[in-house]
Amino acid sequence: MKKRGLKEPSLPKELFPVKLGKEFLEEAKEQETEVVRRKIEKVYLTKFDGSGMSFWQTVFQNCRFEGCDFHKAFFQDVKFVNCSFCHSSFCDANFKSCIFESCKGRGADFYGSSLYHVQFRDCDMGEAVFDAARFSSVKGQNTDFSKAGFSKCRMSNTVWEQVCFREANFFKTVLKDQDFTKSSIEGIVLSDERGELEGAVVNTFQVLGLAKRLGLVIQDSGENF
């Protein structure tokens, strides 16, 4: 399948810097105003309620969001750089033309979220939850998704390069055309029928590992036919 190109975030050359990030975000939430063309740095928020907020053409850099709630939030042309949002919730959130770069999102919850033209670069997303999420034009590069949840997802036009999916859960997710040849998929969780793998693209080494899980015994007969 020919991959379509990814849209980079459309960010203006100049963004308005936010000096008091915590207070700024709290006020935006209270007044239900959109966050537009901002650069937000070194903000530390715990259990912040950002549900339903909208962010446009914004960069978050060196920020920490612990146990925060961004349920049904909207992000377009947003870049997260060296941020941490471990155990925060982005359930049913929408991401369009966004980049996560050098971020930590272990245990973060993206259940039911929509990711369109989204990139993960050099991130730690281990044990994150993406169950029932929609991936369209998404790229993962040098990123750890080990033990993450991807059950009942919809995936199209994805690129996975040097991504760790070790023990990730793909239960009832159609993996047709998913190219895992440059990534690790050891111990991924599937249904008993293993139907998720139909049409997936894997390398020879991965085939041998999957064959063992299917109970197949591979022997070289030594004969040429």
Mark out the alpha helices in 15-118 (DSSP H runs): 21-31
What is the distance between the alpha carbons of residues 194 and 209, in angstroms, rounded to a whole number? 13
pTM: 0.91
Give the pairing of strands 35-36 and 114-121: unpaired
Which of 103, 54, 118, 109 lies closest to 87 in space, CA to CA?
109
- Give the pLDDT band (50/70/90) at residue 75: very high
Q: What is the pLDDT of residue 1?
A: 47
Q: What is the pLDDT of residue 215?
A: 61
Q: How far is CA 216 from CA 83, 170, 176, 185, 209, in A?
A: 44, 21, 22, 18, 10
pLDDT digits (tens, 9 = 90+) for 176-197: 999 999 999 999 999 988 889 8
Element (H, E) at 54: strand 54-61
As a whole number, mean pLDDT of residues 80-87 equals 96
What is the distance between the alpha carbons of residues 22 and 5, in angstroms, rounded to a whole number? 36
As a whole number, mean pLDDT of residues 33-42 equals 97
Q: Which residue has the higher pLDDT, 132 or 211?
A: 132
